[in-house]
Structures are given as structure tokens and as C-alpha cells.
């Protein structure tokens, strides 16, 4: 059976660098040492499970394996072995057009999905906002990884999401909103949640727990600014009063993971909100990006992510379960959408 490529980013992101900025005057072995020294430094300082391992032994074994590589690029494949060894199912390394992740991720086949879902997924769909049956706003948010984006670019993307939602809201008599996260395979949840400010308003959204499951930080929205504690991660210019009480139905699926799950966590606990569909993939730990030598970047897991309750769940289970159903050709006939509209009408 054909395997479905599963990462927390989409494969559509292409990078021009092939050598990863490696200095031609430095030997392959030296480059490998420099890279892995920095990678282990960041892992030992930041990784949520850093206290569970004998790093000296692991570092020696991994470097010994990597140094046998004929090229620096080849040596990066050893990162997957490293991530497996330290139980890093949410760890990734980005290098040029390649992503190196753990092999511990769940494997899925085409048989796990509705045919309409597979067709939509294969089309590499973009963000969109539309209206179903004249009165129900529909927001489709796929994965969005803005790996090398500057703060200004992150803000612009959040503004694009926000503006599209407000434009539809002001042009129609919208009774409620449906947010489709079924093909949201991850990326920058800060940008997504800031862009959804019109439906969230000012509130605490998610909490981050340390290895002992104690709250270490939180994210919130205030006047269009997305904060992690006091640090601004994304922001928008507000042009309309938020509708934080309007009914919202979020659609999740078995491919909804990482940032897609954090969007669902950000809404869970909000009034007049329901999650419909399938249990999510299960990457609700929180990552941050760390720059490494030779134009590489590591996504390192720092904490457990939760909703406002501070209770960690590896996956997100829907309140209304609908299994292996999709109709992206005609959304009005999609069973998930039908259930969402029914919820909105009851809430009103």
C-alpha cells in the first residue's frame, strides 16, 4: 500500500540552497562535528526530555555514526536516528529542501482517508474563506510553515487571514463559522491564531507545561496581538469589533497535527464552540525553531501544549465524532459540515 507522506509541514515549501551554506574550505568531518556540536548543545539546553538521557553516550554514538558519511548532506540523515533514540516524535531538522524527522511518527495509508480528502490534499490547497448556504462562514486553514519569515512577514500573513474573515463577515449575514483543520498538518500556529482574532477576541488561548506538567508560560490575544507571556509573536490591525460569542465549529481529522492541533486547543474552552470530526494525529507538544550551522534549522520540543484547563492530552478528541467522511467537491453535502451547520443553528 502506498504510504502518505506525513510531516508537520507541507512538501510544497522549496528552498534553493543545496549545500546548506557549508564552507568549501572546511572538511566534511569538520563540518559534521561543528553541526552536531551545536545540535546537541541546543537539545541538552532546551529539549523537554533532556534530563532523561545520558547525553555523553548518545552524543558519542551519533557522532561516530555521522562521521562515517561521505558528505555533510548524507550525515544529516543520522538526525532521524538521533530523534528516534531520544523519543523525539515531534523533532525535525530542516535543511534546504529536505526535512529529517523521527521514524516514531504514526504511519498512514490511503485507505485511512476518504477519497475526497485525498484529492483535496494532493492539490496542495491554500487558505481560503467562503460562505456555505448564504449564512455560514467557512475558513479552510491548511498547514502554514513560514520557516525563514521575518516578523513583518508573519504579521502580514496573520493580517491576510484576519482581513479575509472580516470581509466575508461584513458582506453576509453570517450565523456562525466553520473552521476546517482537517488538512492542517502544522506550521506557525501563532500566525493562524492571530489571524483568527475576529472569532477569538481578547483571551488566554493555550498554556505550556514543563516536564513535570506545571504551567511555565501561556499564549493570549489582546487587541489583535498574539503574545507568548509578554513576547509578541504576531499581530494584526483590527478593523472590526471581534465576535467572540458567535458559534464556531472546528473540523478535525486524523491528519490534523502540531499547529493544527494548537488552533483547536486555542478554541477549546471558548463559549459556543464545538469540535467535530476525528481524533487528531497527536503532536500537541510545543516546538520552537533554533538556527544551526550551514543554513539548517531544528524544531525542538520545549513543552506540553494544553488548552486553558492546563490538562494535557496527546490528541484532541472531537465532541461529535464523524469518521472518514469528506466532500470537498460539494461542502454542503459533507457530513462534517452538515453537523457543523446543525450545531450553529441550535446555538443561535
**Residues 64 and 121 placed together within one structural domain of the fold:** no
pTM of the model: 0.92
Give the H/E segment covering residue 199.
Answer: helix 197-200
Q: Residues of the chain with pLDDT > 70: what percent? A: 93
**Residues 269 and 290 placed together within one structural domain of the fold:** no
Domain holding 232: CATH number? Answer: 3.90.226.10
Those residues whose C-beta lies under 8 Å from the C-beta of residue 122, and which sit 6 or more positions away, are: none
Dump pLDDT digits (tens) for 101-141.
999 988 899 999 999 999 999 999 999 999 999 999 999 99
* Domain housing 242: 110-280+315-347
5 is a domain residue = no
Q: Using alpha carbons, select from 304, 254, 252, 255 the residue that is nearest to residue 277.
A: 252
- Quote the CA–CA distance of 308 and 226 in Å, as a whole number: 15
Strands (E) across the chain are located at 92-95, 98-101, 128-132, 136-140, 176-180, 203-209, 215-222, 225-228, 231-235, 248-252, 273-277, 285-292, 296-306, 320-321
1 is a domain residue = no
Q: Provide the pLDDT for residue 102.
A: 94
At which residue does the C-alpha cell 465549529 appear? 249
Q: Residues of the chain with pLDDT > 90: what percent? A: 89
4 is a domain residue = no
Burial (CB count <10 Å: 0-12, 13-18, 19+), residue 315? middle
Contact 314, 284 (CB under 8 A): yes
Other beta carbons within 10 Å of 319: 13
User: Can you give the length of the chain in residues?
Assistant: 348
Dump pLDDT digits (tens) for 62-89.
999 999 999 999 999 999 999 999 999 9
**Residues 118 and 259 placed together within one structural domain of the fold:** yes
187 is a domain residue = yes
At which residue does the C-alpha cell 528552498 appear? 15
Amino acid at each position: 500500500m502506498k504510504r502518505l507522506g506525513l510531516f508537520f509541514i507541507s512538501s510544497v515549501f522549496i528552498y534553493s540552497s543545496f549545500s546548506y551554506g557549508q564552507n568549501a574550505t572546511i572538511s566534511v568531518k569538520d563540518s559534521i562535528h561543528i553541526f552536531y556540536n551545536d545540535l546537541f548543545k541546543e537539545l541538552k539546553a532546551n529539549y523537554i526530555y533532556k534530563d532523561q538521557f545520558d547525553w555523553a553516550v548518545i552524543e558519542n554514538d551519533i557522532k561516530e555514526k555521522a562521521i562515517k558519511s561521505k558528505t555533510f548532506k548524507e550525515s544529516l540523515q543520522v538526525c532521524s536516528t538521533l530523534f528516534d533514540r531520544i523519543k523525539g516524535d515531534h523533532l525535525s531538522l530542516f535543511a534546504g529542501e529536505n526535512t529529517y524527522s523521527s521514524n516514531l511518527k504514526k504511519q498512514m495509508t490511503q485507505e485511512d482517508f476518504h477519497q475526497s480528502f485525498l484529492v483535496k490534499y494532493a492539490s496542495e490547497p491554500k487558505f481560503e474563506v467562503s460562505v456555505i448556504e448564504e449564512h455560514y462562514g467557512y475558513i479552510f486553514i491548511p498547514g502554514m510553515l513560514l520557516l525563514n519569515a521575518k516578523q513583518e512577514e508573519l504579521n502580514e500573513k496573520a493580517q491576510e487571514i484576519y482581513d479575509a474573515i472580516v470581509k466575508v463577515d461584513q458582506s453576509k449575514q453570517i450565523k456562525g463559522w466553520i473552521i476546517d483543520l482537517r488538512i492542517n498538518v502544522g506550521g506557525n500556529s501563532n500566525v493562524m491564531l492571530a489571524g483568527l482574532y475576529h472569532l477569538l477576541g481578547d483571551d488566554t488561548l493555550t498554556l505550556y507545561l514543563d516536564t513535570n506538567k506545571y504551567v511555565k508560560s501561556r499564549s493570549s490575544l489582546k487587541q489583535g496581538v498574539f503574545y507568548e507571556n509578554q513576547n509578541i509573536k504576531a499581530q494584526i490591525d483590527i478593523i472590526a469589533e471581534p465576535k467572540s460569542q458567535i458559534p464556531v465549529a472546528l473540523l478535525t481529522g486524523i491528519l490534523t497535527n502540531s499547529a493544527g492541533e494548537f488552533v483547536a486547543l486555542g478554541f477549546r474552552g471558548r463559549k459556543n464552540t464545538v469540535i467535530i470530526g476525528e481524533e487528531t494525529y497527536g503532536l500537541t507538544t510545543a516546538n520552537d525553531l533554533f538556527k544551526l550551522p550551514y543554513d539548517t534549522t531544528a524544531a525542538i520540543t520545549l513543552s506540553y501544549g494544553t488548552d486553558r484547563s492546563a490538562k494535557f492530552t496527546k490528541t484532541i478528541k472531537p465532541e461529535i465524532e464523524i469518521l472518514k467522511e469528506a466532500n470537498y467537491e460539494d461542502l454542503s453535502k459533507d457530513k462534517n459540515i452538515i453537523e457543523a451547520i446543525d450545531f450553529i443553528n441550535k446555538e443561535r
